[in-house]
A and B are shown apart, each in its own frame.
Chain A
Amino acid sequence: MSSTHHVTTESKPVRLLLIAVAAFILSLFLLLPLIAVFAEALRRGWELFLASLKEEEAWSAVKLTLMAAGLSVPLNTLFGLSAAWLVTKFRFRGRAFLLSLIDLPFAVSPVIAGMVWVLLFGAHGWFGPWLAEHDIRIIFALPGIVIATVFVTFPFVARELIPLMESQGADQEEAAVTLGAGGWRIFRSVTLPSIKWGLMYGVLLCNARAMGEFGAVSVVSGHIRGETNTLPLHIEVLYNEYQFSAAFACATILALLALVTLGIKSLVEHLSGHTSNSRH
């Protein structure tokens, strides 16, 4: 930047001041908590840290978390692709309404997202007696955890894809149609390659939320140690038992997951930004 400033920017002192304030806000708000997770986890030393991670209950919580995410993320990815294709490639009556329905779960508290399933499938819920008769457990078991997670995380992939596919228009797909391509071929070799980065980020974000979901899962899980505790719930239990270091040790796993997600996001933006720049 030159010493005489352009009319569309601020003078240098103002610029420096604003940068400093922004950096301060971000450090205090965001960086400090991130550092605190690791600092608290290691407060009592590495040995205790590693010991807490090796604990059997921690492992079963990790397994359950992976299972819940492993089931709900593919489902929501499928939904995201389907919904995005529907609302960006076609115009139809009720489209705007459908769009706002997709956003709806954002406005629903996670606690409510969990509780609706208790009302339906819980012991005192509508289907509770029938389920009990047939010895099917949904609430306080894996299926409940999965459906609650699906509810909370379902807009993520769709939300990432819809603006992207909308901005790309349907020209390339139409060109493929005139060349005789069928639906699957169009999707696989024309649409998918041009949305792959957005899709990847949507899936990652969905996954991060699925693994970290707390409120909804907390309502449906029943907090059975070693059985229906996901990792965030296990952290809560440890914390409430004043095993702070152990709680934070488990929290570092999730914090690392968040960091990896952010890192890949930056990378994806860098890569896709790079190709999109060279396009022009």
Chain B
Amino acid sequence: MSITIRSIHKTFGSYRALEDVSLDVPDGSLTALLGPSGSGKTTLLRIVAGLEFADDGPGKVLFHGEDVSGIPAGKRGVGFVFQHYALFKHMTVGENIAFGLTTLPRSKRPKKAEIGDRVRELLKLVKLEGLDKRRPHELSGGQRQRVALARALAIKPKVLLLDEPFGALDAQVRKDLRRWLRVFHDEIGLTTLFVTHDQEEALELADQVVVMRNARIEQVGTPQEIYDQPRSPFVYEFLGNVNKVALNENSNQYIRPHEIEVCFAAEHDPANGKLAKIHHLFSAGPVATLTVRLEDGQFLDVELSRKQLDDLALDVGDEISLKLGSAAP
């Protein structure tokens, strides 16, 4: 089910959290809302969920073309996973997952046995079989996160919303869970929108990335588009791993370290190259990173393969020539 967001404004007192935000989340996609803290991404997610309301005006949220702005959160059919999971601490894992079903009015509530089956099915889906009698405090962070997911899925939501789903986890667990979530999404095919401030996470996981900044959407595109054709210096810098080269007083060139070509100083061509001196060299692993100093004093990072480094036989203090390519904005 697609999500359509049109002209949403949101202010908290005098603070502008969202300004005229419109966005299309295609059916079945995995979309990331990426941005620094305070960019409005969590507010947007909560508005889609019905946990927050947009300011009065033309703004609306549509699920599959149907306006849901006036529908309360409990009836929207959204699965929401909170940043810190918000598990019910006094209930077991099974009771947590069953909550959305046991809370249905008696006429719609499945039979006890059916609820039990559904809980077991969901536990299997999130790979937590046999843990239904545990309580949240007896689980690891990654397990809690998956219980929260199972609980959200139990109500058969139309869309899945995740707020910083990996924010509270260790680096390794994060990576594993990220991969798992991608596979999981491909299996169930539920339209999913998640918030993150980690560009690597967004690029690796999502089909569509929405970069947000200062209450507005900066750029929307596939990870490839966002990385290769950033539309603004902010997106360039926020995606990280970029050199900012001052060309003159008011124009900069952005170039990623691996896009810089390296050749010997002897082959230097002043027309399309710059001379530089190697300041530091880091070469553990398959990729080597050079920190070089241009003649005007600017420092740049340059990445090349280990093989290239060995072929060129470079060392600290060597003079080299860099090709920075065509000037991007």
Contacts and interface: CB of A to CB of B under 8 A. Distances in A.
Interface of A: 171-172, 174-182, 185, 189-190, 193-194, 275, 278-280
A180 B100 contact: yes
Contacts of A193: 88, 90-91
Given A172-B87, A172-B89, A176-B103, 9 more contacts: A174-B80, A174-B82, A179-B74, A179-B152, A180-B100, A181-B103, A185-B103, A275-B137, A279-B137
A176 B90 contact: no
A159 to B, nearest CB: 23
Contact of B103 (A172, A179, A278): A179
Contacts of B49: 178
22 contacts: A172-B86, A172-B88, A172-B89, A174-B80, A175-B82, A175-B88, A177-B73, A178-B51, A178-B74, A178-B152, A179-B74, A179-B100, A180-B103, A181-B103, A182-B103, A185-B103, A189-B91, A193-B88, A275-B137, A278-B137, A279-B136, A279-B137
Interface residues of B, number: 29
A189 B90 CA distance: 9
B86 A175 contact: yes
Interface of A is mostly: helix
B151 interface: yes
B79 interface: yes
B44 interface: no
A177 B103 contact: no
Contact of A171 (B78, B84, B104, B137): B84
A177 B51 contact: yes
A180 B78 contact: no
Given A171-B82, A185-B103, A278-B137, A177 B88 contact: no
Most central of B78, B79, B87, B100 by chain A CB within 10 Å: B100
A180 B104 contact: yes
Highest count of chain B CB atoms <10 Å: which of A180, A185, A194, A280: A180
A179 B51 contact: no
Contacts of B75: 180
A190 B95 CA distance: 11
A193 to B, nearest CB: 4
Contact of A182 (B51, B74, B82, B151): B74
Nearest to B90: A193
B155 interface: yes
A279 B135 CA distance: 9
A210 to B, nearest CB: 29
Contacts of B152: 178-179
B299 interface: no
Interface string B133-164: 00011000000000000011011000000000
A251 to B, nearest CB: 40
B238 interface: no
B99 interface: yes
A181 B74 contact: yes
Contacts of B90: 193-194
B73 A171 contact: no
Nearest to A185: B103
